[in-house]
Structure formats: structure tokens, C-alpha cells
Amino acid sequence: MTAQRIDGNALSQKLRAEVSSRTAALKAKGITPGLAVILVGENPASQVYVRNKVKACQDSGLHSLLEKYPEDLTEKALLARIESLNQDPSIHGILVQLPLPKHIDAQKVIEAISPNKDVDGFHIASAGALMTGMPGFWPCTPYGCMKMLESIAYDLKGKHAVVIGRSNIVGKPMAMMLLQKNATVTISHSATTNLKAMTLQADVIVAAVGKRNVLTADMVKPGAVVLDVGMNRNDEGKLCGDVDFEGVEKVASYITPVPGGVGPMTITMLLVNTLEAAERI
Ligand code: GUN
């Protein structure tokens, strides 16, 4: 068996076309969805990410505001800026790019964002809403993974899903979303003793560790669906995920490639969340 690829670029294109038309409809009513993106410091990867987020907004007709601050910005100044963006009616989503410099308490900053504008879905109120099945913003990467499963009409009811990784940004919210769709969910992590025994039972595997070859072909049940959230470099400097793609694609039924899989979906779901924040007004 060779797995079918779930193409994140193609799915993103389709979803972004929907975002564009819903944005145009909202603009006709006098509301332009607006996203504020805050970058503190010079982290090169973060600079690329924020540039891509702003460009995606522009391409879909959303208003975006990119604010770059020097590394030595004080926590107090950042909190004050967030408070003024919370009050700004032209801004519907606020995103503070992580990581922040060490002297700034990232959690405090996240909690300062109004839950109504928390389009990253990182606020405790958003996490609590997801956990209890209440309306709220879902973190973009796991939300994108759910859209990928939806795109292949995959019914999670009664299936066993194994999430590898327990981060607040991907692993934990991913598990909650899968649970909400009636999967039986296992979260594995660095202290898990027999990962292979677990993944061999899985109908769906989400790898979100940030390490190459966490999942190899011998760990995958034939026909399983494999979503790769990893973003790493191999020895030749080429982008790769957490999954040994060449091996696993011979065993899985569906697989997401890296690049061109989950990656583009993350920004797409950010646009969706920002649009929905504006639609709720
Ligand atoms: N840093 C890496 N990924 C993300 C993300 O999705 N949102 C924010 N705010 N920072 C990040």
C-alpha cells in the first residue's frame, strides 16, 4: 500500500478562497477583519513566520498590522500595547509571536489578550472552552489537523488516536479535539515507556514532537492515518517532519507530507479564526 497524501497546500487554497469570499461579504457590511501581529526581538524564524502571516492576511483581503519591537521592550510596555489593541475596534485578532525574550513572562502576555481576540487560541479561557466543548478559538495547528481529517471524510468515532507530544500549542489541544469527535485518545510524551506498542494500536497518529524519525514504518498499523506536525531539518538541511515519510507512506492509508502538509494549514486557520472573530461582532 502507498498512502495517499493529504495536500495541505491544496486544502489551504480551498479554505482561503472561502475566507476571501466571507471577508468580502463582511467588508460589504463595513467591517474589515483585522489582525495585529506583534514581534519582539530578532528571532530569524519568527521574522519569517510573522511575514507569512501578514502576507496571508493581505492575500485574503484582511487588514493586518505588524508591530516589531526591539528585544529590550519591557513587559509593562508590551502589556500596555496589548490593552490598547484589546480596545481597538479595527482589530479583531491579536497574535504575539512566540518565543518572547526571557525577561517577558509569555503566559502573562497571553492572558492579557482579550479572549474575544485570542485567535491563536492560547489563552486559558480558550483552552477551557475547548476542554468543555464551549465556543472559543481553537489553536491553529491542531485545528488545521482536524480540517485535514475532515477533508478525507474520516469518521473518528470509536477510533483510537495516538498523539505524540503534549505541548499546550499542539499535543494537548489536539487530544481534546479528537476526543470531541468521539475518538479514544492516548497522549504519549517523553516519559512514555513503550511508544511503539501504543502507535501500533492507533488508527490515527499525530506526531508533534519536533524531532526527526519519531515515527517509523515498524510503529504503524497498516492503513493508519498519519499527520505530521514536525518541522525539522535533515542532515542535508532539507525540511522534514517527525515522521520517516518514505517508510511510513508504504504502510499508512493517508499521510501528510512535510513541507506542504500541516504547515500551510496553521496560517489558514489563523485567517479563519480572525475572520470568525470579526463575524462575531
Ligand atoms: N511560535 C511558533 N508557532 C506559533 C504560533 O502558532 N503562534 C504564536 N503566537 N507564536 C508561535
Q: Give 275's contacts (C-beta < 8 A, 6+ positions apart).
A: 19, 22, 23, 26, 33, 62
What is 31-117's CATH topology?
Rossmann fold (3.40.50)
The whole-number pLDDT of residue 142 equals: 98
**Contact status, residue 163 vs residue 206, Cβ threshold 8 Å:** yes
Among this protein's residues, is 59 annotated catalytic?
no
Catalytic residue among 53, 117, 147, 159: 53
Q: Where are the domains of the chain?
A: 31-117, 139-263
Global pTM value: 0.97
Q: Do the domains 31-117 and 139-263 sit in the same CATH topology, yes or no?
A: yes
**Pocket of ligand 1 contains residue 118 by CB under 6 Å:** no
pLDDT in tens, 20-30: 999 999 999 99
Pocket of ligand 1, candidates 50, 118, 169, 269: which has the most ligand atoms within 8 Å of its Cβ, to mutate?
169
pLDDT in tens, 68-104: 999 999 999 999 999 999 999 999 999 999 999 999 9
Spacing, Cα 278 to ligand 1 middle (Å): 21
pLDDT mean for each 10 residues of the chain (281 residues)? 96 98 98 98 96 98 98 98 98 98 98 98 98 98 98 98 98 98 98 98 98 98 98 95 98 98 98 98 83
CATH 3.40.50.300 assigned to domain 139-263? The reply is no
Pocket of ligand 1, candidates 46, 48, 54, 97: which has the most ligand atoms within 8 Å of its Cβ, to mutate?
97
Q: Are strands 93-96 and 4-5 parallel, antiparallel or unpaired?
A: unpaired
